[in-house]
Every structure is written in structure tokens, then in C-alpha cells.
Structure 1
Amino acid sequence: MYDDGSLDPLVKFVLGVIAAVVAAKMLWRWLTQDVAQWVTADAWGWITGHLWWSSLIIATLLLFVLAARRSVPGDFEVYYGGNDVAEDEETALTYSLGQLAAMSPAGFEQACADLLARDGFIRPRRIGGAGDLGADVIAWTGTGDKIVVQCKQYSRPVGSKEAQTFNGTARPEHGASLALMVGLNGFTKIATEFAARHDITLIDRAALESWAQGEHLYAVIGEDRSAA
């Protein structure tokens, strides 16, 4: 039996064969003999005379019932990249701040890429890593504008040094039309002022929560345009 309670396919096959043979034998005897005689004498006699086999058959039937119950669709959760993100077919991808904080740095970057995909941006992908020159995620709008995202999962506000470094690569190195910094725990006042002077869009903690909970990126950053 697997950890989720399901049976190994080979075990299912063996149990199925046993159950089929026993059922076929009983059916044949039921069809060829007097029903009352079979129930009162033959069946009961066989059960009392073959307790081990009777117990095995009952256990097999119970296992099949349990397996059938487990296979019935019900309420369920779908997880993305190991993160606790519940979703069904009619619900958009969402994250809580707690979930984002619990992710690995790479997982946090991937979550940002997934949110861009949810909002309809084109070819969002995580490229963060050694030598990324400040670009953790990139994507494109429907009109061909490039979005370059730097994702900061710091336990503190992002400072001006990080904003300055990103400013030096987002457009000169990556050709960003929209340079976006995501800070799980916000930005310092100096970093915010620097970003405003250099046209870097910041997603602070409050904005990230709105974005992660389903609000479109453009609504979060105040852009009056469509991602399509």
C-alpha cells in the first residue's frame, strides 16, 4: 500500500483475480443448484469450513471498498512547486504572504513568474541565479514590451544599494520597458525615493499581498493598460 492509502497495482491485480474466481464459483453454484440449499447449507458450510479463505475474501472486499471511496472526487488542494497554494479550475492562482515567505529564494522568484503568467503576460520565466545581472524574472506584454523583475525575499526592507544596482542593469543590460522590484518586506524611504527618480516600479509588502491574492499587476502598480 502506498503512503496515500492506494494499493500497489500488482496487489490490486492479485486480489482482483482471487475475488473474481470466488465470485465465479459462487455464481455458478447459485445458477446450477437450489438457491435456498446453497445459501443455508453450501455457502454457510463453506464459510465455516474455510475460515481463512472467508477472512481473506472479506478483507479483499473491504480493501476494494476503501480504495473506491478514496478515488471518489471531493474537496482537494492543488500545490505549485511545493508551495501551499490551493486552487480549483475556477479559481485563479493565489499566494498568501506567509506562503511566499516560506519559499526558497528560487521558489519566490518562480512564484512571481507564475503570477505574471496568471495575469496574461507572455513567456514569463525565471532566469535568476549566478550572473543574472539583477534579472530574476522576465516576461513580455502583448505589445512586445519587456518586463524585468528583481525579487527580494529579504526579512528586512530593501535598501537603496539594491535599487541602485538594479537600476544599473535593468535597462542598460536587459532592455527593460518596465523595471520592477518586488520586496517581500517593503523598501526603505531612500530606496523608494531613488526608485521614483529612476522610473523603477516597486512592489512593496502591501502591493505584493494584493497582487498575490488575485489583483492584476497593472491594477496594483496603477498602470492603465492591458497585459494582452
Structure 2
Amino acid sequence: MFDEDGSLDPLLKFLLYVVLALAIGKMVWEWLTDDVSRWITVDLWGLISEHPWWTALIAVGALATLILLAKLLSFLFGAGTYAYIDSDEEYASTAVDDETVDPDVLTFKMKQLAAMSATGFEQACADLLARDGFRGTRRVGGAGDLGVDVTARDPDGQLVILQCKQYQNPVGSGHVQKFNGTARLHHGADIPIMIGLNGFTQPAIDFAAHHDLILMGRPELKKWAHGHHLYDVLGIPSTTQ
């Protein structure tokens, strides 16, 4: 019924719209085709006069139904979500984890990260680093980046390098091997992190473990995007966090 971000399934949402539209259409049609004045002055008034208690119960039930309907519409149209625009990418601050998150903290939904351009995805990761207190955060991805998309310094002064893969499939071992060849040797990374929106293959995971590379798969990325500190998600100790 709900996707991993807590949103109502699009197909179910569409079906609810159709049912609601049909119900409203039927009510309007019956109202237009009946003798409204006779229904009010004769039928309805007679029913109320003969059964006042039942009428009161029906009225309370109708009021409760209207309240529930209003809440359903509010839920379907996503009330309470707000967004801001940065570098032509739309970001929304909506936390769905069980933990309470400051509403002013930058967060992303996974489906938003998936819908971004490659550049937007890299910029979102840079923005999350800045949110977590990293200094000198900079997106450098592009042609000839030699395996680096985002650079930053943590509060301890360590150089953090991110490579951000927004692939639809898990990242393979070949990409991790290339990152290993440049992250430390060429860029001098203290903490090299590769991010895979849809995870990594097992050979890639095994290679990264052997060479002390940090991989952030989908579950970790979701926690980070939903408001948790990067180092808390990855289990990286910090003396000043």
C-alpha cells in the first residue's frame, strides 16, 4: 500500500480518486434529476418528524464521514510537505523515520533522489554533507573528475571524497576498482565513500571490504537522506561530531 518513503502507492491513489469521483458524480446526478423541493419539504421533513432520534444519529454519522473524507483528501494531496528550489532541482523536506527529526533539517525522499539528474544527485549529496557540518563542501563531478563527485572536510579536518552512482542497477566491481585507484592515491582521501542509489553487487562489496573502501547502499542512503548524520549511518567515529 505504501512505498518505502511512506507515500501512498500511485495506483491505489488513482483508484481512490476514481471511486471518489464516481460517488460524487452519482450524488450530483440524483440531486439534479429528483424533485429537490419535494424531497426537502415532504420526504425529508416527514422522515425527521417521524424518527427524530434516528435522524440525529444519521446526521452525526454523516458529519463523521465528512471529517474522514477531508482527512483522506488531505493525505492524498500530500498536505504538510514543503519544498524549496536549488540549482533547478526540487528538494522536499519530509522525514518519514520513526525518530523525530527537526523540520528545518534538509531531507530527501528516495524517489526524489531517483528522479534527479546525475548532477542534481551529486549536489544533493553535497548539500547533505553541508547539513551535517562538513566544511568546504564542493561538487566537482563531471568529465575528467577521476572518480570524485563531491569533496569536503569533516570537523576533524579529514578529507572526505564521495563518488555518487545513481544507477538503476547495483554498482559493479569495476566501478569500485576504479574508485580505489584514484580516491587515495590521486586525491589523497582520508575517507573515500562510494554511494550507490540501488546498492552494489556482491563482488563490489567484497572488493571494497578488502581495500577499506566505504560503500553506502540504499538502506544507508535512505537513513542519511532522512536526517541522520553521515558518520552515524556509516559507523565512522569522530572526535568532534
Equivalences for residues 176-195 of structure 1 within 5 A: 176-195=189-208
- 1:151-187 per-position Cα deviation (integer Å, ceiling 9, x unaligned): 0000000000000000000001100000000000000
- 5+ long unaligned stretches in structure 2: 1-79, 95-101
SS in 1 for 2:161: strand
Equivalences for residues 208-227 of structure 1 within 5 A: 208-226=221-239
RMSD: 2.0
- 1:115-142 per-position Cα deviation (integer Å, ceiling 9, x unaligned): 0000000011100011110000000012
**Maintained 8 Å contact 2:162/2:192:** yes
Amino acid aligned to 1:86 = A
Identity of aligned residues (%): 52
Equivalences for residues 1-228 of structure 1 within 5 A: 77-87=83-93, 90-226=103-239
SS in 2 for 1:142: coil
Structure 2 CA distance for aligned equivalents of residues 111 and 77 of structure 1: 14
The Cα shift of 1:87 comes to 4.2
Provide the residue aligned with 2:60 in structure 1.
Answer: none
**Maintained 8 Å contact 2:93/2:108:** no
Q: Residue 165 and residue 118 in structure 1: after superposition, are their counterparts in 2 closer, same or farther (change >3 A)? A: same
Amino acid aligned to 1:151 = C
Larger radius of gyration: 1
**Maintained 8 Å contact 1:185/1:204:** yes
- 5+ long unaligned stretches in structure 1: 1-73
Structure 1 CA distance for aligned equivalents of residues 142 and 184 of structure 2: 18
Structure 2 CA distance for aligned equivalents of residues 199 and 91 of structure 1: 34
| Alignment TM-score, normalising by the size of structure 2 | 0.61
| Alignment TM-score, normalising by the size of structure 1 | 0.64
The Cα shift of 1:113 comes to 0.3
